[in-house]
Structure 1
Amino acid sequence: MEKIAFLGLGHMGEPMARQLLAAGHPLTVWNRTPRKADDLVAAGASAAPDPGAAVRDADVVITMLAGPDAVRAVADAVLPALRPGAYWVEMSTIGPEVVRELADRVPAGVTLVDAPVMGSTDKAAAGRLGILAGGDAAGVEHVLARFGPVTRTGAPGTGAALKLVVNTAVMGGVALVAEAMKLADALGLDESTAKDALAGGPLSGAVGRAFATDVHFGNDLAVKDIALATRTTSLPAMEAVLRQFEAVAADPELVHEDIARAVPRIRAPRTT
């Protein structure tokens, strides 16, 4: 079994690391806040004091971090410590441009795979995420399959690119459902009747996500992902969605809450 280093034990990373432990992989973990590793250590993982120490003997390194800046900071510590023959699987949502930047920095003999995920915390805990793997993923596909079905997307960076497409559709759908419900409110319609009608149509998945209560994807992360998308090409509708989520994330009580918490804020009547 490959020795695996898992860096980033947030809402997604912690349950994903548990899947590797359950499969019997020797696992070393690191997180910026060390106490978040305690439960995994109790379950059999080893905790490293810093990213470089975590990856030094690893066959496979997995990073699941908040965004481009966090990945760049960890890369500074990790890259000098990666051994020849190792795989670095970058699973954060950072966009293809940052993946190409990392690929230029990876030392000879190390393979970088971009493999962001589709799904939220519930699927991470159940091992039912969708994995979008770009680059030469053949050597780690069996490891990625521990998290859920693997889709090979093509050249390096294509996994990160497709993840932006998927997340753009999800966030746009949630905002659209919120505004549709706001219109229903303004027209005096019964909330359950309007919600059921939307759930029975082409927006059914977006309705489910807009009213989900058992998953987590922070509003701050939504802002980050939509911003990555709108910097890539002209997306007028998503630029409006970005403004909606920026307003929600500006609230200290909502910034790290799930995107479903944005729906009541978007639905709220505008005050003057």
Structure 2
Amino acid sequence: MDKIAFLGLGHMGAAMARRLLDTDHPLTVWNRTAAKTEPFTAGGATAAASPADAVRDADVVITMLADPPALFAVADEIVPALRPGARWAEMSTIGPDAVRELAGRLPEGVTLVDAPVAGSTDKAEAGELKILAGGDVSSVEPVLSRFGTVTHVGALGSGAALKVVVNVSLLGAVALVAEGLALGDALGLPEEVVRRTLESSAIGGAVPRAFAEDLHFDMALARKDAELATGTADLPVVSAIRQQYADAADRPDTAHEDIARIVPYIRERKS
């Protein structure tokens, strides 16, 4: 069985890596905060002291990191340690430019696939994520399918591009629900009536996410994703949405809360 190295055990990464514990794949894990590896070693995985140690013998490398700077810091350590024939599935939300830059750093014989995911921590725990894959995914698809359904998007970088579209659309929909509720407040409408009516409207799918209590999509990561989008195209609406999440990410009480926290934040600001 392929030896797997999984780097990055944040909210999403940990939920995904747990899906590999009950397989026959030898699993090595690494995280900058080493204590986060302890539940995995208790489950049979090996904890690596450094990113390079994690990937040295790996057939498949999976990275699930916060942003491009975090990815490139790890890449600086692991690229020299990758063995010929290794396959790297980059699953972070970093945008297509970062994927292409990463590909340019790799030695001959190492294959890179961009495979970010759509879905939150609940879907990750259930193995029901949508994996948006760019490049030749065939050699890692059996491993990626442990996390959910793999969709072949196109050439290398296309999965990362589509992920930015998906995330920014989600962020916009949640913010729009928040402003709809804020408008209802200003007009003196009962919250329950507004919420129930929005649920049956064209943006109804975003309402449950706007009120989710057991999911985690970090506010600071939301700002990062919106910045990836506005750095690519002229998007006036997304720019306004980005500012809302940026303001919330700058506040100590909401900086690392789930994006659902944007709803009371926006309503408080509009009242």
Report the TM range for the smaller structure's normalisation. Answer: over 0.9
Are 1:120 and 2:132 matched, yes or no? Answer: no
Are 1:220 and 2:220 matched, yes or no? Answer: yes
After superposition, the CA RMSD in angstroms is 0.8
The aligned residue for residue 155 of structure 2 is 155
Answer whether contact 1:29 1:46 (CA < 8 A) is retained.
Answer: yes
Q: Aligned partners of 2:269, 2:67: CA distance in 1, in Å?
A: 33
Which amino acid in 2 is paired with 1:25?
H
CA 1:150–1:20: 2 relative to 1, 3 Å: same
Which amino acid in 2 is paired with 1:228?
L
Mapping of residues 66-105 of structure 1, within 5 Å: 66-105=66-105
1:40-88 CA distance string (max 9 Å, x none) = 1000000000000000000000000000000000000010000111101
Q: Aligned partners of 2:262, 2:122: CA distance in 1, in Å?
A: 19
Q: Aligned partners of 2:270, 2:208: CA distance in 1, in Å?
A: 25
- State, as a whole percentage, how many aligned pairs show the same letter: 62
Mapping of residues 1-272 of structure 1, within 5 Å: 1-270=1-270
Q: Aligned partners of 2:269, 2:100: CA distance in 1, in Å?
A: 43
SS at match of 1:268: helix
CA 1:269–1:64: 2 relative to 1, 3 Å: closer
Answer whether contact 1:116 1:159 (CA < 8 A) is retained.
Answer: yes
Out of 29-38 and 243-252, give the one that drifted further: 243-252
Q: Aligned partners of 1:22, 1:16: CA distance in 2, in Å?
A: 12
SS at match of 1:92: coil
Q: Aligned partners of 1:269, 1:139: CA distance in 2, in Å?
A: 49
Q: Aligned partners of 2:109, 2:35: CA distance in 1, in Å?
A: 33
Answer whether contact 2:131 2:148 (CA < 8 A) is retained.
Answer: yes
Shift, 1:24, TM fit:
2.2
Q: Aligned partners of 1:269, 1:20: CA distance in 2, in Å?
A: 43
1:67-114 CA distance string (max 9 Å, x none) = 000000000001000011110100000000000000111110000000
Shift, 1:269, TM fit:
4.1
Q: Aligned partners of 1:246, 1:269: CA distance in 2, in Å?
A: 14
SS at match of 2:113: strand
Q: Aligned partners of 2:65, 2:47: CA distance in 1, in Å?
A: 17
Which amino acid in 2 is paired with 1:84?
P
Which amino acid in 2 is paired with 1:77?
E
Shift, 1:270, TM fit:
4.2
Which amino acid in 2 is paired with 1:214?
D
Q: Aligned partners of 2:189, 2:46: CA distance in 1, in Å?
A: 55
Name the count of aligned residue pairs.
271
Answer whether contact 1:175 1:241 (CA < 8 A) is retained.
Answer: yes
1:112-171 CA distance string (max 9 Å, x none) = 000000001111111111100100100011110000000000100000000000001000
Q: Aligned partners of 2:102, 2:65: CA distance in 1, in Å?
A: 14
Which amino acid in 2 is paired with 1:106?
L
Runs of 4+ in 1 over 6 A off after TM superposition: none
Q: Aligned partners of 1:49, 1:269: CA distance in 2, in Å?
A: 45
Answer whether contact 2:63 2:90 (CA < 8 A) is retained.
Answer: yes
CA 1:134–1:211: 2 relative to 1, 3 Å: same
Q: Aligned partners of 1:176, 1:201: CA distance in 2, in Å?
A: 12
Q: Aligned partners of 1:58, 1:161: CA distance in 2, in Å?
A: 27
Answer whether contact 1:23 1:146 (CA < 8 A) is retained.
Answer: no
